[in-house]
Amino acid sequence: MRLDRFLSNRPALNRLDARLHLAQGHVRVNGSPVLDGRYEVRLFDRVELLDELLQAGKPARYFMLHKPVGYVSATQHPDHPTVIDLLDEQDKADLHLSGRLDLNTSGLMLITNDGLWSRRLTLPSNKLPKVYYVETADPIQPEYITTFAAGLYFEFEDLTTMPAQLDILGERHARLTLVEGRYHQVKRMFGHFRNQVMHLHRESIGPIMLDPALAPGEYRALTEAEIACGLPN
């Protein structure tokens, strides 16, 4: 919500009061005066008017989880345990998943209470590379490389996938780098060649790599550097 609106929503303040307080530098956000009423107040901001605390600001929280196979990328599910069940944290209802993985996919999941951060991370225009390790039922042919690089037409969405990089590691295993996240994208890309994906594991999202110290089901807080990759320069 805009700061001017946030202020004038207070029972003791009207719009004119709010404007005057702003103009006189009476309003501080995270310790610094803010004069511009268009400032977007976030849940995490500490907002003060003179010596009155209007909002304490919640701590922003960011985690990486090693998602195991068999867990749903959702906050609740009637039939399966969810990745949120794996977190031993307070206020889990505030947390959301920044991107999803299929039930039988393992690997890096990012979880946060910062909606702006996860929106930036998942914004298609940011083209953050997501790297997947893939094992298939049948041999992976060299022609897949050019087909994936050219993009595949997905009829359901009526779109052509963005260029993807395939590195063939062995007869039935490869590393695939995507810059978008369409529904079941990896499985559908291999499905184009009628080659079933038997095992799928996300290794990284942009510069954030799944910490090899995390066993399936374990998680840790992101470091400052990892968090910074979702923020503007």
Interface residues toward ligand URA, by CB under 6 A: 101-102, 105, 184-187, 200
Residue the block writes with tokens 């009476």? 26
Nearest distance, CB of residue 213 and ligand URA, angstroms: 23
Distance separating alpha carbons of residues 3 and 178, to the nearest angstrom: 38
Strand partners of residue 72: 82
Nearer to ligand URA, 173 or 187 (CB): 187
Other beta carbons within 10 angstroms of residue 80's beta carbon come to: 11
Given the residues 102, 138, 167, 211, the one annotated as active site = 102
What is the closest distance, in whole angstroms, from the C-beta atom of residue 76 to ligand URA in the complex? 19
For residue 114, indicate whether it is catalytic.
Answer: no
- What is the bridge-based pairing of β-strands 197-205 and 105-112? parallel
Of 10 and 184, the one with the shorter C-beta distance to ligand URA is: 184
Instruction: Kindly state the tokens that stand for 168.
Output: 């063939």
In the chain the beta strands, taken as DSSP E runs, fall at: 27-29, 32-33, 47-49, 52-55, 62-67, 96-97, 105-112, 130-136, 153-154, 159-160, 165-168, 173-178, 197-205, 208-209, 219-221
What is the rounded CA–CA span in Å between residue 174 and residue 72? 24
> Closest approach of Cβ 21 to ligand URA, in Å?
49
Residue placing its CB nearer to ligand URA in the complex, 41 or 134 = 134
Taking the least distance from each CB to ligand URA, the nearer of 120 and 187 is: 187
| Nearest approach, Cβ of residue 135 and ligand URA (Å) | 13
Nearest-Å Rg of the Cα atoms of the chain is 22
Catalytically active residues, by annotation: 102
